[in-house]
A and B are shown apart, each in its own frame.
Chain A
Amino acid sequence: MTTRNAVVESVPADVLHKAITDLGVSHILIVPDTHQKSLLASLNNETSLPMLTFSTEDEAICVNAGLWIGGGEPLLIIQNVGLFAAMNALRGVAMDMNVPTCMLVGQYGRDVTQPVEDAHQGSAIRLIEPVLATMDVPFYRIDRPEDVPNLRTAFDQSRRERRPTVVLVGAPTS
């Protein structure tokens, strides 16, 4: 699905699904995200990959840490407003405990015809990148299908450097 005049393009769920499977993750941790609902539906059919749903994003970040400590290699799928809600867990657990924490974050509410910094975008869209930069969290964008390899880049960086990384999904998955 591509909206006329869009500056970002939708990525098919099966493309992202395959990219996630190729990462070799042990668990998918989610707080439901409207923006990536087709991806979540696709992953829900993946019987070989446990998908766990949490009440809040800070809880998911903490479970990610516990899984990693116990030998797992999880991936989080959340949305932008949830990442704002989870800043203390991001800081106090993922950052301060040096836990690999890779998050696929839907840019819920984004006007896909405008860049993220446009004044008409909602605050969650305009502020997420500056906030991540302030928190010193590396972030990448998936604004079109050819950006999907950024997920691998972010996941590998989170493991190599033992830190949180974020991949922002610009348009709703299709």
Chain B
Amino acid sequence: MRRSEALELLAEHKGDGVSVATMRAIPDWYDLGGAPDLNLDNRGCMGAASALGLGIALAQPERKVYVIDGDGSLLMQLGSLASIAGSGAANFYHFVVVNGVYETSGFQPTPASDRLDFAAMALGAGYEAAYEIEDLGVLRERLPAILNERGPVMIALKVELETSRKEVPQDRPTDPAGYLRARLVGD
């Protein structure tokens, strides 16, 4: 399964949910129509995506929040798993793109990349449910039901390692936080 194929399925289900995308998932997410509407990019603080999404989820409990995280990114703020679980945010869906490397900085392996089990960590932290999916057909079949489950839910997406590099689009909102707040609360 390629990252773009998995994200294409998620984009089809986004609806009026809010997304938070980080690092190398950002170009694909824009290409697939998941952004810029109702989206926040996180490029300036690796590891922050899940905590940013948690804040939005707590402030907007009626709206689903989809965090598109990376394995290297999540490892930088792993304590967020406990905070997310402890919050009981029922509208929080945590997608972790697992390719086993720090892609942005040159494909260095993440620690313990051959044995880390993010779904098990999420369950251990107290998420309502967690899944590891590496087959596109399985994801296509199960995603609608998963997105109707009570959160917080993690979906660890095991994807192929890809070396081609898309550029981050230049036409992103210049004030992403202000833009999204205006869309959500009309400030």
Interface residues of B, Cβ cutoff 8 Å to A: 20, 40, 42, 44-45, 47-48, 51-60, 77, 79-80, 82-83, 86-87, 175-178, 180-181, 184-185, 187
Verify if A154 is at the interface (C-beta below 8 Å from B): no
Interface hit among A15-23, A65-73, A120-128 = A65-73
Would you call B177 and A98 a contact (CB within 8 A)?
Answer: yes
CB distance from B69 to the nearest CB of A (A): 12
Contact A69 B83 (CB under 8 A): no
Q: Flag if B44 contacts A62 (CB, 8 Å).
A: no
**Which A residue sits closest to B78, measured CB to CB?**
A55
A interface list, Cβ under 8 A from B: 26-27, 52-56, 58-60, 62-72, 88-89, 91-93, 96-99, 162
* B58 neighbours in A (Cβ, 8 Å): 27, 52, 63, 66-67, 70, 72
Task: For residue A34, give the distance in angstroms from its CB to the closest CB of chain B.
Answer: 19
Smallest CB–CB gap between B127 and chain A, Å? 15
Given contacts A58-B48, A91-B44, 7 further A-B contacts (CB under 8 A): A55-B82, A62-B77, A67-B59, A68-B181, A69-B52, A70-B58, A93-B44
Structural contact, B59 and A56, CB atoms closer than 8 A: no
Select which of B51, B59, B177 is within 8 A of A99 by beta carbon: B177
Q: Given that A55-B82, A66-B53 are known contacts, is A71 also in contact with B176, CB under 8 Å in the complex? A: no
From known contacts A70-B56, A70-B58, A72-B55, infer whether A97 and B44 are also in contact, taking CB-CB under 8 Å. Answer: yes
Asked if residues B52 and A54 are in contact (CB atoms below 8 Å), the reply is no
How many angstroms from the CA of A71 to the CA of B56 in the assembled complex? 8
**Min distance, Cβ B75 to any Cβ of chain A, angstroms:** 13
CB distance from A48 to the nearest CB of B (A): 16
- Nearest A-chain residue to B59, judged by Cβ: A70
Q: Is the CB of A55 within 8 A of B79?
A: yes
